């Protein structure tokens, strides 16, 4: 009996000694459905290319935001499935902006690489935390709070961003209000904006209602 227990303990310790092996990874099978725990795992064997994202590059900033956020979330980078982290790269032209948004459930860390970016958030008690960051600065944005970035110089600026979630899909405030089908009258009444202004913004951002 004692021998059996010892054998069992030896088995346990040998299996935990592999706790950091490649088998602990669950690279997302993006063809399966996303559920609250993430994606199911891609079938083995894995290769090193499953763990590399090669598209972390400046995107096209010829848009209304003069910005190109490049996400490396689970949908673009399946390796982060289940790992509690992901990243993005944000390139801002002069005048560029990442509009007010939140990442429900994800803490964000902004890592400045080039140029100057003013970033900030509004806390739940409405206290305001704003800072113009330069190369070498890092700033934390707490989870779930409304925050933004704007280019603070006359030149291109770049920051890398990490998140405490593999899927920190943002909810963008202007899209929620003016790109959705929420009735314009309800938007006006709940934001104290003029109805005419709401209708104008609905057209601009593709909303209805």
Ligand X SMILES: *[C@@H]1O[C@H](CO)[C@@H](O)[C@H](O)[C@H]1NC(C)=O
Q: Binding residues for ligand X, per CB under 6 A?
A: 60, 62
Considering beta carbons, is residue 56 or 129 the nearer one to ligand X?
Answer: 56
Q: Least distance to ligand X from the beta carbon of 64, Å?
A: 10
Helices 184-191 and 195-204 pack at an angle, to 10 degrees, of 120
Task: Name 4's Cβ contacts closer than 8 Å, sequence gap at least 6.
Answer: none
- Compute how many other C-beta atoms are within 10 angstroms of the C-beta atom of residue 32: 11
CA distance 107 to 12: 35
**Smallest distance, Å, CB 197 to ligand X?**
27
Least gap, CB of 90 to ligand X (angstroms): 16
CB of 171 to ligand X, least distance (A): 24
Order of strands, sheet of 146-151, starting from the edge strand that comes earlier in the sequence: 128-134, 116-122, 146-151, 97-102, 171-172
60 vs 127 by CB, closer to ligand X: 60
Q: Is 170 exposed, middle or buried (0-12, 13-18, 19+ CB in 10 A)?
A: buried
14 vs 60 by CB, closer to ligand X: 60
Report, in Å, the least distance between residue 66 CB and ligand X: 11
Tokens of 65: 């935001």
Considering the complex, state which of residue 94 and residue 188 has its C-beta at the smaller distance from ligand X. Answer: 94
Residues with Cβ within 8 Å of residue 121, at least 6 apart in sequence: 128, 129, 141, 142, 145, 146, 147, 148
């Amino acid at each position: 009996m004692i021998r059996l227990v010892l054998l069992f303990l030896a088995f346990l310790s040998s299996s935990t000694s592999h706790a950091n092996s490649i088998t602990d990874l669950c690279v997302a099978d993006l063809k399966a459905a996303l559920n609250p725990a993430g994606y199911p795992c891609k079938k083995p064997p894995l290769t090193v290319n499953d763990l590399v994202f090669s598209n972390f590059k400046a995107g096209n900033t010829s848009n209304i935001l003069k910005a190109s956020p490049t996400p490396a979330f689970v949908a673009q980078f399946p390796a982060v499935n289940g790992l509690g982290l992901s990243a993005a790269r944000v390139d801002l032209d002069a005048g560029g902006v990442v509009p007010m948004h939140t990442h429900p459930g994800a803490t964000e860390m902004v890592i400045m690489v080039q140029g100057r970016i003013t970033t900030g958030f509004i806390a739940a008690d409405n206290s305001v935390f704003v800072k113009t960051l330069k190369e070498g600065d890092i700033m934390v944005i707490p989870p779930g709070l409304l925050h933004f970035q704007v280019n603070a110089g006359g030149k291109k600026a770049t920051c890398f961003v990490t998140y405490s979630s593999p899927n920190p899909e943002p909810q963008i405030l202007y899209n929620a209000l003016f790109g959705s089908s929420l009735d314009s009258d309800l938007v006006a009444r709940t934001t104290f904006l003029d109805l005419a202004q709401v209708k104008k913004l609905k057209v601009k951002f593709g909303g209805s209602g």
